Structure 1
Amino acid sequence: MGLEWDLDTIIAILSIVVPLAAFGWEFGVVGRKRLGYRVQMDTLATDTAHAPYAGVLRELDDDHGSTLTDPSFVLLRIENAGWQPIVEGDYLTSESDKTGIRVTFQHRRVAGAVVTEPSQPELRDFFTEDVGGFGYGEENGAGLIRLPKVKLNRRAHYKVLAVLESTSGDQRQDFPDPVFRADVSGGNGRGLLSRFVKFKMARTESHRFASRPGWVFVTLLALGVLIQAGTLTLSPEPPPKDCVGGTLHLHGSTAFEPAVRKAAEAYRARCAAAGVRIPVTDDTFRGSTEGLTDLDRAGKDAGIEPGDGLSDHLAFSDGKALGNHPRLLSRPLAYLPYTLVVNEDAGVENLRAEEVRAIYAGKVKRWSEVGGSDLPIHLVSRHRGSGTRTALVERVLGRREPVAPTVSDCTALTPAAWGACEVGTTGTLLDMTAAVPGALGHSEVSSAERQDGVVLLRIDDQEPTLTGVEEGDYPYWQTEYAYSYGRAPDGSIAQAFLGFLTVEAGRETLGPYARLCSEVDKPGLCEPS
């Protein structure tokens, strides 16, 4: 299995590489030969405004007996800040030049200098007249201290105390920092590394942690850790194991649409980290028959061979599919109640089953004939093939189709006369029923409950609820089926979504609308007991 180069992997690798590189650079490259220096003191010997008892210091003389002008003390520390010894050959000066380090002071001249506090007494031997290279003077108008090519073992050091005086003619309170000039060869000075790395004299601190490149590496490491911590904190939880990502296309029943929409939203939320896309628009659900036709076409267009299945399409049907669809496989999901809906002006809330059959047969044409208002009845039905219409015909109307429509467009119904029309979707049917006085339609319960201007009718005094279906004699219900083109492949989003609808998560999303088939005694039949 190849390494996946995601952000977490890259940061994790950098978290290992950066400290190793920092260690190698700091101790294997830069730290190998490091000649360090520190200015431990640089202060005026006297200040007439703030040191009234500094008379002796104000009267310091130089070697010629002249009183120094604005004298100052400077204490320098020179040290081996690396892990290898520094020897005479490491100083990048000619063999004839005994001086290894030059320190210059702008606007001051050096009146005297002495070596003090060597880390080992033998270091004093490098500062004798016989060895040479040590002294002080002037260079380009600046005071100069010359230091010899001292051999320094690891952590060895010495200090230089110097007395200087101002040459600027005014009473300065501060002076430019001393300038140190020295290069160290690094021992061999050969190879590819010598082209890119030069070992120069470096300022050190009293509690030195790392050089500037070392600090850069450490800072990068800290940033990497912070980014990785932020990534782990802000990254979404990994998806559950039964989540499958991808795009899933849905088709079918407008009656079952509210339940499927809610289930799709729940699946997207639960499996967001898997990368789920379930596009649902206003025309996604066009009816049971249309949905099955769309699924059949999608499978054929994809060229699915016999024995295989389509992985990214599902259709939902109110009841078993009608027509010839030999490649579609069904799976019962749940049964749910349907309802007759009537315009609130009709003045009825309950009908006997024989009254319903008489109305849809065109034998009863005014609401007053069944105890309602003196308004003509307008039948608003779904087209043939609709699941809610099929269930109405089979379970309520004694397998007799409603009377044929009198107009092709429901908006052409005459308010004062009986009439009938057909529409394509549940949403359109509910809108027309609410808008046309005396209109009667049929719908899935949850959609009808959200529609203003309509009343959900009882049949034989039975409520259009799951309780009415399961414990009473309410006749108007249907089993909802999910269809796939062939068997949905293992590991596909179609199979995962079907599984989601049939387990606990499905109960949470479909529970308010329907009874899951997995909860009844005979799941394969999926009917009220």
Structure 2
Amino acid sequence: MVVPGIAAIYEFLVKGRKRLGYRVQMDTTANDVGETAAPGALGELSKEGVPLVDPSIVLLRIENTGRTNIDEHDYAVRDDDRAGIRVSFPGRRVVGVVVTELSDENLRSSLSGLTVREDLVELPKVPMNRHDHYKVLAALDSTDGRKKTDGAYPDPIVVGTIKGGVGDGRIIETRSRIGTSRRAMMLIAFLVVLVVAQSLVFLRSDTRTPLDCAEGRLAISGSTAFEPVIREAARSYQDVCPAAEFAFEMRGSGEGLLALDQSGELAFSDGEKPDGMPGLVARPIAFVLFTLVVNADTGVKDLTTAQIRRLYRGEIGNWKEIGGADEAVRLISRNPGSGTRAAFQRRVLGGVREPGSNSDNCRDRDPGTPAGVVRCARNSTEDVLRAVADTPGALGYSELGAATGRSGSALVRIDGHPATVDDADHGTYPFWETELGYTFGDPDAHSLAASFLRYLTNQVGADIIRAHGDRPCAELANPQLCHPNPAAVPAD
């Protein structure tokens, strides 16, 4: 970021100002050093009929190399001085000058003021637009009337200054190069080194992960609703920390907490632990959305809270009673001890417990059970969703991510509101719960359990949680919802 910033400032604020430059495109002797058979006019260079002793030719290019136009008044000379640039040739005298090239014909009138003296060429104050240039060809001879035998003549001296130009405004020599300039090559090399170094730092930091890697084996139990998130997060953790191993016993929040209280290492629960487990320590992980799910043939996509409670009290036996298909209502729940079931009872049924099951196959009441709505229970979220899709008239509940996009079933809005974080966050959608990670006491800071819990709340873990339709607690508009004992929906 710094290098391009400096380059931009230099290019537009410094280099972009007025700048006048020149190039010596040719400076060579005109002597016939190779004894050419037909030198022609080049062998007869003279001044006033007197042959030149040591003739030489210089081609000079004057150019506007800045990003701003140069006007006549920009030349830093007196107003009555017609010359803007003066060129001298040490050791040589000027015998003739011609203008050989104009980038714009409008420059011709300004160059009519060109003045030649024996030791000096005075170029007028020529206005030039961006990228304009002109060329001057000068014929020269030695000043002492003798041929120079001890090497080349000194370079021409070009003097001129622009008011408000780059640096001190003096005319600078520009060089025409073939290929990339040394300065550009150095800048490119620097940027390459910078990119390589940055990549190495990134890869090194990426392989180590923002958290510390821990070794060992970790047994995880608990919520089947949160199981897909936990399994994906564990695979991601192992990609970064290959010395870690995970074992899963995800048979519901209640069983997971019971196992943890006895001899487990880490458990996840949809909501808080029951009383009687004082040694378990909770850490809020995610804000989890749940949804009601119906068999697609019921024709129902929206239920009020009052209708849901009547359904589970057994007061509605056929979907046509509330605008659905002529199909018997069949309720498919989670087994007691499920965190999802506890959340449904607390958030939607207003704290009222669901009646017990009266069916094993979820279609017919078991023999000897009283008449009423068919009720059954399943061990896991996947079992509930499969039974709802396969059972006519079925109604169940599930974690939102697991229920989304399944064939044979449809999600149900509650009081006109879909299962979204915004609706739940603002209190208009009731069916949600805090996913809590439980350990028996506080784990060692360097243990795999502590490291994995931290991993779930860092950027990678948060991305996985969001990908499953849930939300990290820290990202809620009302983070207090993830704290213990948030308000439940009151019973009617």
The TM-score bracket by the shorter chain reads 0.5 to 0.7
Please state how far the C-alpha of 1:423 moved relative to its aligned partner: 1.4
Please state how far the C-alpha of 1:495 moved relative to its aligned partner: 0.3
Which of 268, 276, 294 does residue 316 from structure 1 map onto? 268
Distance in structure 1 (CA, Å) of the matches to 2:474 and 2:206: 29
Please state how far the C-alpha of 1:485 moved relative to its aligned partner: 1.2
Secondary structure of the 2:225 match is coil
The amino acid of 1:239's aligned partner reads R
Choose 257-266 or 367-376, whichever is displaced more: 257-266
Distance in structure 2 (CA, Å) of the matches to 1:360 and 1:525: 26
Secondary structure of the 1:399 match is coil
Please state how far the C-alpha of 1:297 moved relative to its aligned partner: 2.2
The amino acid of 1:277's aligned partner reads E
The amino acid of 1:428's aligned partner reads D
Q: Look up the match of 1:461.
A: 416
Q: Look up the match of 2:216.
A: 246
Distance in structure 1 (CA, Å) of the matches to 2:206 and 2:436: 33
Tell me if structure 2 keeps the 8 A contact 1:378–1:440: yes
Please state how far the C-alpha of 1:447 moved relative to its aligned partner: 0.6
The amino acid of 1:449's aligned partner reads T
Secondary structure of the 2:461 match is helix
Which of 327, 333, 349 does residue 279 from structure 2 map onto? 327
Q: Kindly indicate whether residue 490 of structure 2 is the aligned counterpart of residue 515 of structure 1.
A: no
Distance in structure 1 (CA, Å) of the matches to 2:424 and 2:305: 15
Inter-CA distance 521–435: structure 2 relative to 1 (3 Å threshold): closer
Please state how far the C-alpha of 1:323 moved relative to its aligned partner: 3.8
Which of 425, 431, 455 does residue 476 from structure 1 map onto? 431
Q: Look up the match of 1:278.
A: 246
Inter-CA distance 417–344: structure 2 relative to 1 (3 Å threshold): farther
Which is greater in Rg? 1
Distance in structure 1 (CA, Å) of the matches to 2:461 and 2:270: 18
Tell me if structure 1 keeps the 8 A contact 2:362–2:374: no
Distance in structure 1 (CA, Å) of the matches to 2:477 and 2:398: 27
5 Å-filtered alignment, 1:86-125, equals none
Gaps of 5+ in 1: 1-234, 300-312
How far does the alpha carbon of each residue in 1:381-436 deviate from its partner, in whole angstroms, 9 at most, with x for none?
A: 1122211111111111121122332224536558x984111111111111111111
The amino acid of 2:208's aligned partner reads P
Gaps of 5+ in 2: 1-203, 488-492
How far does the alpha carbon of each residue in 1:157-179 deviate from its partner, in whole angstroms, 9 at most, with x for none?
A: xxxxxxxxxxxxxxxxxxxxxxx
Choose 347-356 or 325-334, whichever is displaced more: 325-334
5 Å-filtered alignment, 1:4-153, equals none
Inter-CA distance 524–462: structure 2 relative to 1 (3 Å threshold): closer
Distance in structure 1 (CA, Å) of the matches to 2:394 and 2:453: 37
Distance in structure 1 (CA, Å) of the matches to 2:450 and 2:409: 38
Distance in structure 2 (CA, Å) of the matches to 1:476 and 1:333: 17
Inter-CA distance 261–450: structure 2 relative to 1 (3 Å threshold): farther
The amino acid of 1:290's aligned partner reads E
Q: Kindly indicate whether residue 419 of structure 2 is the aligned counterpart of residue 452 of structure 1.
A: no
Which of 214, 221, 239 does residue 269 from structure 1 map onto? 239
Inter-CA distance 271–475: structure 2 relative to 1 (3 Å threshold): same
Distance in structure 2 (CA, Å) of the matches to 1:382 and 1:480: 17
Q: Look up the match of 1:344.
A: 296
Please state how far the C-alpha of 1:451 moved relative to its aligned partner: 2.9
Q: Look up the match of 1:132.
A: none
Secondary structure of the 2:482 match is coil
Secondary structure of the 2:396 match is strand
How far does the alpha carbon of each residue in 1:285-324 deviate from its partner, in whole angstroms, 9 at most, with x for none?
A: 100000011112225xxxxxxxxxxxxx210000001142
Distance in structure 1 (CA, Å) of the matches to 2:206 and 2:295: 49
Q: Look up the match of 2:379.
A: 424
Distance in structure 1 (CA, Å) of the matches to 2:326 and 2:279: 51
Distance in structure 2 (CA, Å) of the matches to 1:332 and 1:426: 21
Distance in structure 1 (CA, Å) of the matches to 2:432 and 2:346: 10
Which of 364, 373, 393 does residue 438 from structure 1 map onto? 393
Which of 254, 260, 265 does residue 289 from structure 1 map onto? 254
Secondary structure of the 2:278 match is coil
Inter-CA distance 521–450: structure 2 relative to 1 (3 Å threshold): closer
Please state how far the C-alpha of 1:471 moved relative to its aligned partner: 4.1
Q: Look up the match of 1:198.
A: none
Q: CA RMSD in A?
A: 2.5
Which of 359, 367, 374 does residue 407 from structure 1 map onto? 359
Tell me if structure 1 keeps the 8 A contact 2:289–2:433: yes
Tell me if structure 1 keeps the 8 A contact 2:364–2:374: no
Please state how far the C-alpha of 1:515 moved relative to its aligned partner: 1.8
Tell me if structure 1 keeps the 8 A contact 2:287–2:471: yes
Q: Look up the match of 2:326.
A: 374
5 Å-filtered alignment, 1:222-241, equals 239-240=208-209
Please state how far the C-alpha of 1:368 moved relative to its aligned partner: 0.4
Distance in structure 1 (CA, Å) of the matches to 2:250 and 2:299: 32
Q: TM-score, normalised by structure 2?
A: 0.53
Distance in structure 2 (CA, Å) of the matches to 1:264 and 1:456: 29
Tell me if structure 2 keeps the 8 A contact 1:322–1:385: no
Inter-CA distance 237–351: structure 2 relative to 1 (3 Å threshold): closer
Q: Look up the match of 2:263.
A: 298
Distance in structure 1 (CA, Å) of the matches to 2:416 and 2:270: 25
Tell me if structure 2 keeps the 8 A contact 1:468–1:474: yes
How far does the alpha carbon of each residue in 1:15-70 deviate from its partner, in whole angstroms, 9 at most, with x for none?
A: xxxxxxxxxxxxxxxxxxxxxxxxxxxxxxxxxxxxxxxxxxxxxxxxxxxxxxxx
Distance in structure 2 (CA, Å) of the matches to 1:519 and 1:351: 29
The amino acid of 2:222's aligned partner reads G
Inter-CA distance 459–521: structure 2 relative to 1 (3 Å threshold): closer
Inter-CA distance 523–353: structure 2 relative to 1 (3 Å threshold): closer
Please state how far the C-alpha of 1:237 moved relative to its aligned partner: 8.2
Q: Look up the match of 1:156.
A: none
Secondary structure of the 2:383 match is helix
Inter-CA distance 333–463: structure 2 relative to 1 (3 Å threshold): same
The amino acid of 1:503's aligned partner reads N
The amino acid of 2:247's aligned partner reads P
Which of 291, 301, 305 does residue 353 from structure 1 map onto? 305
Query: How many residues matched?
Result: 276
How far does the alpha carbon of each residue in 1:80-139 deviate from its partner, in whole angstroms, 9 at most, with x for none?
A: xxxxxxxxxxxxxxxxxxxxxxxxxxxxxxxxxxxxxxxxxxxxxxxxxxxxxxxxxxxx
